[in-house]
Structure formats: structure tokens, C-alpha cells
Structure 1
Amino acid sequence: MIDALGYAAKHSFSRLKPLEFQREPAGAGEVEIAVLFCGVCHSDVHQVKNEWSNTVYPCMPGHEIVGRVTRAGDRVTRFKTGDLVGVGCMIDSCRSCPSCQAGDEQYCEGPNSWLATYNGPMLPASKATTGENIYGHDNTFGGYSDVLVVREEFVVRIPDGLDPAAAAPIQCAGVTTWSPMKHWGVTAGSKVGVIGLGGLGHMAVKLARALGAEVTVFTRSPDKEGAAQAMGATHVELEKDAKSQLEKMAATAGRFDLILSTVPEKHDINPFVVLLKRDAALVIVGALEPMAPVDNQQIAFHRRSVAGSLIGSIAEQQEVLEFCAEHGIAPDIEIIPIQEINTAFKKIESGDVRFRYVIDMASLAREKTEA
């Protein structure tokens, strides 16, 4: 067994604290990875606080992971010791259902869906406390730790030219916005709206601009206007009050080919539906909670769509990393030691982060030294 160390929460009301545990060594087709950096996603906060009612404790978050391969198990063909690699939101799936066979593992139709990098199997809340799943794993622990063991099919290569720390959030914030843009066909000249300018939103702006789209950002934060423009947004619409918002919405009605809602919590999308062209889509990528009812009249009369998109496939994860390396795209990050993770969670909840925290996992060695 591998002695491991990470930060985990034992209850919905507890802080993240050091936790010693063990991982099984790499078996056939698996690689051991020494974690170098791990991004801090808003969903980490939701999960630790059990806001989706499916958290399995102890909960060790982290699904934006960059590290180096320290050992390759038997029959591993894609990676070798020393390779710089990444791990995103999932570490396994059934690999046999129609979605998996099509390369869309994030929509796995197996009995338990895909296996999350942390918080164990994707199970209904009624069964989540058991930690049982068809893959034989117990509750999975994520990248807020010093070592991972992952099947090689769910590991990606970090391209040369990408800063390893900045590459970490691309594997969630990047691919989560990249996937719908590719699926709904964003190309040069497309008009794309982005609701919210946080971890997901700022990557959406950068990626859409690199694809040649004209980007409009909708934000409630006046202090983000300059940042959005610096990232390439052509227009920034500030939601100051109801009257001014309605006036601006009316002026841009029927304009957008695609709107991505990156807000990580329940919000009203009705004011944005009217901005879509005929046959265009508003895609929710930030919130998993039930949303406010949608005015179907505004959808039906223009054959518009309201849709959702979940993370991205492993192929898309590799694709967006290579696209970012080719185009010089990186998220705006602030590197923190693991000991500041609870403060970081509070700042994420209050929106006081520009735009993604990344943990330098070398700081975890301090816990071993002080033990």
C-alpha cells in the first residue's frame, strides 16, 4: 500500500484538515502520480458542504490535477515515469455503454455513471453513504493529496509550453466550457454570450475569442468589466438594476448564437433566453440545482433551446489543453499553500477570487515535517 496524505472534511460543517490514508499501488493499466498542483473549483465547496445531498465523508476534493508519473503499472502503454500528466473530474466509467463507446464518458449510462475523481461513485443520495459501486472502489479521494493512482485511459498529457500550475484548472473550468462550444459549433464570427465571469466564465471568454467568436459578458460586478475586456470580450453588460437590464436586453434581443451560463448556483435565465437567435441555445454549465421555471413561449416561438452540458470527455480534455498551448491561453490563477484552503473556500463563496485558486502541493510536505 502507498502511504498518502491529503486534506479532507469529515462533516458538512467541518473544516478541511490533514488526513493520512492509503492508496493501492498501480495495478495493470494504472499509473501512480505525484501531485504537483491542484485547482480549487466552486464545486469543491458545494461538495464539501453537501449542498448536492450526495457527499460521502470523509470528503477529499480536487479534480483539476497536474503531476508527474512516478510508476507505470504492467501493460501501461501511454505514459512512462517522469511524464507530466493531468487528471480531471473522472477516473473511470463503465467503458461499454453507448456513450462511453462514442467517447462521451461524462455521459456514461452504466449503473453508476462515471466514477468521480473524488466523492466516490456517482450514486443516488439514498445510497451515497455506503461508498459502494460496481468498480470496486471505496470512497474516492481527490487531488488535495500528494499521490493519485489512476487508469491510464483517464489520464491526459500536459503539453509542452503550458505552465503546470495554470494547466490544472483547464481540466475542469476549461473543458467544461470548451465542450459545449465545440458541440454547438462555435466558429469564427459566432456571437457568444457568457453569463458570469468566475472560474468557468473567464475561461469561456478566452476560449471563445481564440475560436474567433465575438464575446459578450454579462456580470453583476462592475469591477470585472475591465478584466473581461482585457480577456477579449467585445461587450460587457452590467446588471445594475432591473430597468437598465431590461433596456439592454431589448437592444440585443435575437442576437446570440450561443449563451453559456457559468453561474455556479440557481439563477433566473429568462432574461437571457430572449437574446438568442432562432435555433440558438442557452447552455447551463455552472449550476446543478433546479432552476427557476422558463417561459416556454420565448423558446417555442423561436425554436430556441435551453440545454445543459457536463464537464467534457477525456478526448476533449486533451484537446482543450493542446488548444490552450497552441494559442497561449491560460486561466488567471493565484497559487496558494494547502494550509490556506479553508480561507480560499470562504473567498470563493463570497466571489472574492480572480479567477482560480491553485494549490501548490509541495506545501503539503510541511504537514509531514511538523508531524
Structure 2
Amino acid sequence: MIDARGYSAADAQSRLSLFRFEREEGGPHDVTIDVLYCGVCHSDIHQARNEWKNTVYPCVPGHEVVGRVSAVGANVTRHALGDLVGVGCMIDSCRSCEPCTSAEENYCEGPNSWLATYNGPMVPTSKATTGENMYGRDNSYGGYSNVIVVSEKFVLSIPAALKPEVAAPILCAGATTFSALKYWGVSKGQRVGVVGFGGLGDMAAKLAKAMGADVTVFTRTSEKLQEAARFGVTGVLEHDTAALQKLSSAFDFIISTVPERHDVNPFVKLLKRGSTLCVAGALEPMSPVNNQDVAFHRRSVAGSLIASLADTQEVLEFCAEHAIGPDVEVIRMQDINAAYDRVTRGDVRFRFVIDMSSLTESEIE
């Protein structure tokens, strides 16, 4: 076993604190990674606070992991000692269902779906109904830790052109939005709207712009209008009814990156005939959609989950090629609880990234 340490939540009300645990030694197809940086995703907060009502405790969050390979199994061929690598939202899947064999592991239809980088299988209830968990575990510990062991198939290569702290949020925020933009064919000359301008919205706007689209972001705060201008995209306040009316039927594609339940109806009206609004940020039940606004213009309201392994590797290469990445604020591990509070308040531009070398300081705190 590998002695490991990280930060965990003991229950939904507790603050994250130092947690010692053991990881299994890597097998012949596994890669052991010394974690350098880990991004802080709003999903981490939802999970730590059990806001999706499925958290397994103790919970060690973190699914935007970048580190150095410190050991490889005998059969590993994709990665070598010293490689800079990343681990995103999942660390395994059933590998045999139709989505998995079609390189869409993110939509795994196996009995437990995919195995999340932390908190265990995405369908944890199947153990109760079938008497068996295909992964042999109820929990998995994520990247808020000093070391992680992952099958080489689920380990991504970080391009040399990307700083490791910048690459970390691309593994979720970048990959999730890229997957949707790619699937709905965003291309040069199209008009794209981005609802919400946080961690996901920042990357969605930058990626769509790099794809050649004319990008408009919709935000609740005037401060973020200035950020939009700095990025070279148009900013509109969500509550500016007059501005929204002027944009009626103007957009080829809209992606909502808001990480919680919200009303998409004001933005449905902004779609051109036959166009799509994709919800990529929220997993909760949404407010009802006015189907009259949908049907009369053959519009669609859709959803998209995290990215496949192939799309995640592609977005890393895309960001390296186009010299784009998230704006990050690097923090110490010991500051994670304050960071959670700031994310909840919307007080971050645009992604916190934990410098995991700071974890050693907890030994004396």
C-alpha cells in the first residue's frame, strides 16, 4: 500500500481538513502520479456538501489533476517516468458497453457507469440491487492529495506548451465545454452565447472564440462585463431585458455553464430557428421550459456531460496550439475552505488551482 495524505470532508457540514489514507499499489497497467496541482471545481463543493445527495464520506475531492509520473506498471506503454500528465473526471469505466467501445466512456452504460476520480461509481445504487460493485470499491479519493494511482488508459498527456497549473482546469472546465462546442459543430462565423461567466464560462468563451465564433457572454455582474471586454468578447447583463430583446433569434448555439438550477427560458428566445441551447453546468432538475418558444422555431434544449478521454486530450492540444487557458489563482491546500466560500460567492476570476506542494505544510499545522 501507498501512504497518502490529502484534504477531506468528513460529512456535509464539516470543513475540509488533513486526512491520512492508503492507496493501493499500481498494477501492471497503472500509473502512479505525484500530484503537483489540482483545480477547484464547483462540483467539488456540491459533492463535499452532499448537495447531490450521493456523497460517500470521507470525501477527498479533486478531478482536475496534474502531476509527474513516479512509477509505471510493467505493461504500461503510453506514459513514462517523469512525464507530465493529467487525470480528469473519471478513472475507469466498464470498457465493454457501446459508448465505451465507441470512445465515449463519459456516457458509460455499464452497471455502475463510469468510476469518478472521487466519490466512487456514478451509479452507486447498483451494488444494492445486484449485490456487486463492478469496481470493487464504494469510494475513490481524488486529487486533493499528494499521490494518485490510475489506469494508463485514463491518464492524459499534458502538452509542453501548457503550464501545469493552467492545464489543470482544462481537464474538466475546458474539456466539458469543448465537448459540447465540438458536438454541436461550433465553427467560424457562427454566433455563440455563453450563459454564466465563471470557471466553465471562461473556458467556453475562449474556446468558441478560438474556433472562430462571434461570442457573447451573459453574466449577472457588471464587473464581468469588463472581463469579457478584456477577453475580446461581448458581455451582456442577464437581467437587461432590453438588451436580450435585441438579440432575439440571433444565436447559432448557446451553452449554459451555470453550475446550479436556473431558468433558461430567457435564452431559448435568443436561438435561431433550428438551433440548440445546451446545459453543461447544472445537474439538478431545471425550471420548466416554455415549449411554445421551442416548438414554434424548432429549437432544442439539450444537455452535455463531461468529455470523453479523446476529447479531453484534444482540448489540451487545442489550448496549447492556440495559446489559451483559464485565468487561475493558485492557492495553498490549507486555504481550500476559504476558496470554497469564495467560489460560492462568485468571488474568483476564474479558477482556483491548489499548489499541492503546500500539503507538506499541514504536517506542522
Range into which the TM-score falls when normalised by the shorter chain: over 0.9
Matches of 1:126 and 1:264, distance apart in 2: 26
Matches of 1:338 and 1:183, distance apart in 2: 36
Q: What secondary structure sits across from 1:36 in the alignment?
A: strand
Matches of 1:127 and 1:19, distance apart in 2: 26
Map 1:15-34 → 2, pairs under 5 A: 15-34=15-34
- Equivalent residue for 2:301? 306
Pair 125,14 (structure 1): closer, same or farther in 2 beyond 3 Å: farther
Map 1:105-254 → 2, pairs under 5 A: 105-124=105-124, 133-233=133-233, 235-240=234-239, 244-245=240-241, 247-254=242-249
Structure 1 residue 340 corresponds to structure 2 residue 339? no
Could you tell me whether the CA contact under 8 Å between 1:121 and 1:132 is conserved in 2?
no
Q: What secondary structure sits across from 2:150 in the alignment?
A: strand
Give how far 1:148 is off: 0.3
Could you tell me whether the CA contact under 8 Å between 1:54 and 1:123 is conserved in 2?
no
Deviations 1:69-93 (A, max 9, x none): 0000121010011000000000000
Map 1:348-359 → 2, pairs under 5 A: 348-359=343-354
- Equivalent residue for 1:67? 67
Could you tell me whether the CA contact under 8 Å between 2:62 and 2:142 is conserved in 1?
yes
Structure 1 residue 268 corresponds to structure 2 residue 263? yes
- Equivalent residue for 1:324? 319
Give how far 1:367 is off: 2.1
Matches of 1:302 and 1:111, distance apart in 2: 38
Give how far 1:135 is off: 1.3
Matches of 2:313 and 2:154, distance apart in 1: 10
Deviations 1:167-222 (A, max 9, x none): 00000000010001000000101110000100000001110000000000111110
Could you tell me whether the CA contact under 8 Å between 1:36 and 1:361 is conserved in 2?
yes
Matches of 1:187 and 1:91, distance apart in 2: 31
Could you tell me whether the CA contact under 8 Å between 1:120 and 1:139 is conserved in 2?
yes
Q: What secondary structure sits across from 2:27 in the alignment?
A: coil
Letter matched to residue 238 of structure 2: E
Letter matched to residue 353 of structure 2: V
Q: What secondary structure sits across from 2:26 in the alignment?
A: coil
Q: What secondary structure sits across from 1:266 in the alignment?
A: coil
Give how far 1:149 is off: 0.3
Matches of 1:198 and 1:132, distance apart in 2: 39
Give how far 1:249 is off: 2.1
Could you tell me whether the CA contact under 8 Å between 1:145 and 1:361 is conserved in 2?
yes
Matches of 1:271 and 1:124, distance apart in 2: 36
Letter matched to residue 293 of structure 1: P
Structure 1 residue 56 corresponds to structure 2 residue 51? no
Counting aligned pairs with the same residue, the percent is 61
Letter matched to residue 263 of structure 1: V
Matches of 2:270 and 2:127, distance apart in 1: 41
Deviations 1:214-251 (A, max 9, x none): 00011111001111121121x211134xxx41x22221
Deviations 1:126-156 (A, max 9, x none): 969xx97211134100000000000000000
- Equivalent residue for 2:360? 365
Deviations 1:4-42 (A, max 9, x none): 000000100001010100001110110000000000000
Could you tell me whether the CA contact under 8 Å between 1:202 and 1:231 is conserved in 2?
no
Give how far 1:124 is off: 5.0
Give how far 1:122 is off: 1.3
Could you tell me whether the CA contact under 8 Å between 2:111 and 2:126 is conserved in 1?
no
| RMSD of equivalent CA atoms | 1.4
Unaligned runs of 5+ in 1: none
Normalised TM-score (structure 1): 0.96
Letter matched to residue 112 of structure 1: N
Map 1:86-97 → 2, pairs under 5 A: 86-97=86-97
Q: What secondary structure sits across from 2:208 in the alignment?
A: helix
Give how far 1:300 is off: 1.0
Matches of 2:58 and 2:125, distance apart in 1: 15
Deviations 1:287-343 (A, max 9, x none): 111111101111111111100000100001100000000110010000000000000
Deviations 1:70-123 (A, max 9, x none): 000121010011000000000000011110111111100000100000001112
Pair 127,29 (structure 1): closer, same or farther in 2 beyond 3 Å: closer
Could you tell me whether the CA contact under 8 Å between 1:324 and 1:330 is conserved in 2?
yes
Q: What secondary structure sits across from 1:281 in the alignment?
A: strand
Q: What secondary structure sits across from 1:82 in the alignment?
A: coil
Matches of 2:198 and 2:164, distance apart in 1: 20
Letter matched to residue 223 of structure 1: E
Unaligned runs of 5+ in 2: none
Aligned length, in residue pairs: 363
